[in-house]
Structure 1
Amino acid sequence: MRRARIRTAACATALAAALTAAAPAAGTAPAPATGTAQGIRWGDCPEKPVPAGMRCATLDVPLDHEHPAGGTTRIALAKLPASAPARGRLGSLLLNYGGPGAPGIAYLAADPALFAELNERYDLIAFDPRGVGLSDPVSCGGVQAAGSGPAPGDPAAQLAALRAEVRRCERHSGRVLQYIGTVHVARDMDAIRRALGEEKLNYLGFSYGTRLGAVYAALYPKNTGRMVLDGVDSLADSLTEQALASARGQQRALDHFLTWCAHRQGCVYGTNTRTAKEKVNALVARLDEHPMTGSGGTPFTGDEAVLAIGSALYYTAYWPDLAAALGQAEREDDPAGLEGFLAPAEPSAPAGTPSKVPADNAEAALIAVNCADDPDRGEEKADPVSIAREIGSLSERFRAVSEIFGPRQLMTVLACYGRPAGTDFIRRIDHPGAPRMLLVGTRGDPATPYEWTEETARRLGSAVIVDHKGDGHTGYPSSACVRGYVDGFLTDGRLPAGTRACPAGE
């Protein structure tokens, strides 16, 4: 799912690395995927465990679809064959779990039961996007630049540290780092469609995967089949507006959590939700000044607390544990419960099993993709004065949105400073002529605010919205009502007329 856990600009920016050829020139329309469809030879999966019947393969695609003679990169695929094809097999359904940087194969292997009904008639196809997971993964050597915290250090020193990390990314990643971005992956998806022998691409994407689906529909409207986008990402917002919307969404989710907590016996913040919000803000400020002692004697700061709270807000099933963790921190000065939310979000290999995926791959891919999709910050703006000016002009605006999430999200606006401007193709998507599709937005989503669902629906011009009134990130995993609409559309082509609502808890 979309990860809102970038620590600072220093951590984020340098991971963009050498994006000199990462996206089409601004103002130009991407060329279609090239080459002929090739068959896929399915075999055993390289990393275990996997569900019974899962098969894996690789597909070579051009590094640059506009210049296919310039080399290839390898895309890792997995398939769960339809379990009840006699009911009427519908072909293949491509899945994307978001990120950017989420390894689709590992996620499908971890929880195939979520899509059991769809899997009866569809072959479920997962893939690791280029640069991610088993698909020629990018890395920055596991090193993060200095400067964590809610405010940047000296801008000149920070910019130098970011550029140094760019060079580390170049050293630890192959040529694929230069060709990362949503437009490239959308072209890869059409190559996957052709290799599978499908006339149309049927697709279910979550979080960032919704941006990927929308770009595919804009590039290949005639090849788009039944498409569902859940937890809808923005197509139009600048990196600054995205960061503001994310901070606003996180604060809204925290407010919902505190209201929920206030109605539970033993909530550490009592029954007054206004003062509860103030107490959470005070906890973070206190940890910024005087960190608690975390596991292994390491300091647990306000930055870690904000990351932990933000992670816990993704799913309402985590809320009881978050309430207990906050109580432990407030009453016992012990951050152990909050630390539990800082574990890696991605599925990992079993203990003792070596993985081919670098430990920092998800974060490296996250920033590389986001910067390839951002046309605003070119090399000519990469100077300390510009950094200081932007932070100074935006800091109060971000803090007004959220006292704790705003300052951290502000740092993400620097993520692409000094890198070549990315493509503007995504921002120019407007009524691409794709078939009608289904969009799911959740009102209390901390990562992809509901406003983005409405905005993207307007830009696609062919979308029906399911308005999920609940909390948490995306609707399909937690709402039977949402699953009913999604599964009905994907299996039977049923698409409601106009917006439909799914109440919270249903």
Structure 2
Amino acid sequence: MRRARIRTAACVTALTAAALAATAPAAGTGTGPTPTPTAPRIRWGDCPQKPVPAGMRCATLSVPLDHEHPGKGTTRVALARIPATGPARGRLGSLLLNYGGPGAPGIASLAADPVLFAKLGERYDLVAFDPRGVGLSEPVSCGGVQEADPGTAPGDPAAQLAALRAEVRQCERHSGRVLPYIGTVHVARDLDLVRQALGDRKLNYLGFSYGTRLGAVYAALFPQHTGRMVLDGVDTLTEPLTEQALASARGQQRALDNFLTWCAHQEHCVYGTNTRTAREKVTALVARLDEHPLTGTGGAPFTGDDAVLAIGSALYAKTSWPDLAAALARAERDADPAGLEGLLEPPATAPAGTPSKVPADNAEAALTAVNCADDPDRSEEKADPASIAREIDGLGEQFRQASEIFGPRQLMTVLSCYGRPAGSDFTRRIDHPGAPRMLLVGTRGDPATPYEWTEETARRLGSAVIVDYKGDGHTGYSSSACVRGYADGFLTDGRLPAGTRACPAGE
């Protein structure tokens, strides 16, 4: 499945901000938000992972496993806080941070790079959390490498469905009781208990990528408790998984084209100065590696799928483009994949300093589990080989037209939820022009969350303000001082301009 995330000093990560009319039904079987029990105060102590920044303290908060049926017991949400550094009289309470994913651990991300939020940290206590099922919050796992590989087309739909169902059984065996309750609606309700436990009247929030989906759901469930909210890397509220995957393929191709245009103006670009032929040559490299893989580290084959993952990863941040150019040159000239391998995230290692109780595959297991919990279109009830065959046969050409490189891989992600329980349609029903005012940031060259989705969400909200960042990469806060100026100004002083504001690339 598509992973969207913000990158700081460590790899960390969409999908949108919004609010629902008070009369709209909440997720689940009820007709409104489930009453939220009063949360206890948090008792802060030492953090279980090392090292952590000076002053950072950690805690856990017990929350209902199932908010609609509290009698089922509780689960734990892990929290971390860095107290505000400014004078006490200027403090504004807590600012909740979500780095995206779904599946990115907030605590490890804040520990890796708190400096990015130093200005906000003068007036806010910076609070990060690992959502249920992630990191230190009763992490889910599928026991290792996923059995159903979404990166290659199935030759036999029945065999592919069997592999998907086998993966689900693995996840159930290794994840425990939290797996059926891992969706975004449950996490949003957890957040309101966190808000209460922190002693804040309203939730002030900065969310990136998937964190914008979480912000949307929170604002929908608890509009009266929604404070200042900034959402960066905004995804669609309404499009089904197929449309999301198509848009992602187009966004990745657009980002690759931007990279190749940049490369053409650099000395020694392996593809020369013609961007059209450069695109053809990258496509040919991927096809060649699919047919004749190179020998990678430890003798493992390095395939076209590996190359696509490496290229896509480097497109998330423009600072990675020189490394991508060098890696492609090494692969083309020397038949050496080492540079591209270096762009890949290690597939089965936990973040440095993470306690050993966090499974190595937790991020990937949580990514799929949350996205499927939020997808109402595909489930075990709708799964049969004919459905899979229709998906592949009916959509193949569309995805190839979107991107010869990224399209086929994105197409396979639409199968991921077959074999799992039916997901919620709550996010798609978020549509409320009277939502609390909030700031949305869209990046023109974003490979994961296309700028069009920022505009679409703003139209649905009616009261959202857009910052239009003309740069490249996924999200704008970490790469643009201009974007940070608008976001920090709103969060600290409540300044929110009308209409759309532009931030030039590189500023």
Cα 1:283–1:202 shift into 2, 3 Å: same
Secondary structure of the 1:174 match is helix
What amino acid is the match of 2:395?
L
Cα 1:29–1:483 shift into 2, 3 Å: farther
Offset of 1:420 from its aligned partner?
Answer: 2.7
Native 8 Å contact 1:37 1:197 kept in 2: no
Aligned to 1:160: 162
Alignment of 1:210-229 (within 5 A): 210-229=212-231
Separation in 1, partners of 2:68, 2:148: 37
Offset of 1:167 from its aligned partner?
Answer: 1.0
Offset of 1:28 from its aligned partner?
Answer: 5.6
What amino acid is the match of 1:57?
A
Aligned to 1:483: 484
Offset of 1:147 from its aligned partner?
Answer: 4.1
Aligned to 1:286: 288
Aligned to 1:342: 344
Separation in 1, partners of 2:114, 2:412: 36
What amino acid is the match of 2:491?
L
Aligned to 1:9: none
Separation in 1, partners of 2:122, 2:193: 25
Native 8 Å contact 1:228 1:438 kept in 2: yes
* CA RMSD, 1 decimal: 1.9
Cα 1:460–1:66 shift into 2, 3 Å: same
- Percentage of matched positions with identical amino acids: 82
Aligned to 2:15: none
The reply on whether 1:108 has 2:94 as its aligned counterpart is no
- Cα shift readout 1:412-469 (whole Å, capped 9, x = no counterpart): 1111123232111110001163320000000000011101111111222221000000
Separation in 2, partners of 1:200, 1:259: 45
Separation in 1, partners of 2:283, 2:310: 14
Offset of 1:233 from its aligned partner?
Answer: 1.6
Q: Which of the numbers 314, 332, 355 marks the counterpart of 1:312? A: 314
Secondary structure of the 2:249 match is helix
What amino acid is the match of 1:496?
P
Aligned to 2:122: 120
Secondary structure of the 1:173 match is helix
Alignment of 1:463-482 (within 5 A): 463-482=464-483
What amino acid is the match of 1:225?
G
Separation in 2, partners of 1:33, 1:267: 59
Aligned to 2:187: 185
Separation in 1, partners of 2:50, 2:265: 43
Q: Number of aligned pairs? A: 488
Q: Which of the numbers 69, 72, 87 marks the counterpart of 1:70? A: 72
Cα 1:263–1:438 shift into 2, 3 Å: same
Cα 1:354–1:118 shift into 2, 3 Å: closer
Aligned to 1:138: 140
- Cα shift readout 1:103-144 (whole Å, capped 9, x = no counterpart): 000000000000000000000000000000000000011131
Native 8 Å contact 2:102 2:210 kept in 1: yes
What amino acid is the match of 2:289?
L
Aligned to 1:330: 332
Offset of 1:381 from its aligned partner?
Answer: 2.3
Separation in 2, partners of 1:79, 1:354: 18
Secondary structure of the 1:476 match is coil
Where does the alignment leave 5 or more consecutive residues of structure 1 unmatched? 6-22
Where does the alignment leave 5 or more consecutive residues of structure 2 unmatched? 6-24
Native 8 Å contact 1:440 1:475 kept in 2: yes
Offset of 1:27 from its aligned partner?
Answer: 7.7
Offset of 1:146 from its aligned partner?
Answer: 4.6
Aligned to 1:246: 248
Alignment of 1:270-285 (within 5 A): 270-285=272-287
Aligned to 1:365: 366
Aligned to 2:506: 505
Cα 1:139–1:301 shift into 2, 3 Å: same
Native 8 Å contact 1:140 1:173 kept in 2: yes
Secondary structure of the 1:478 match is coil
Offset of 1:408 from its aligned partner?
Answer: 0.1
Alignment of 1:14-53 (within 5 A): 29=31, 31-53=33-55
Separation in 2, partners of 1:445, 1:118: 25
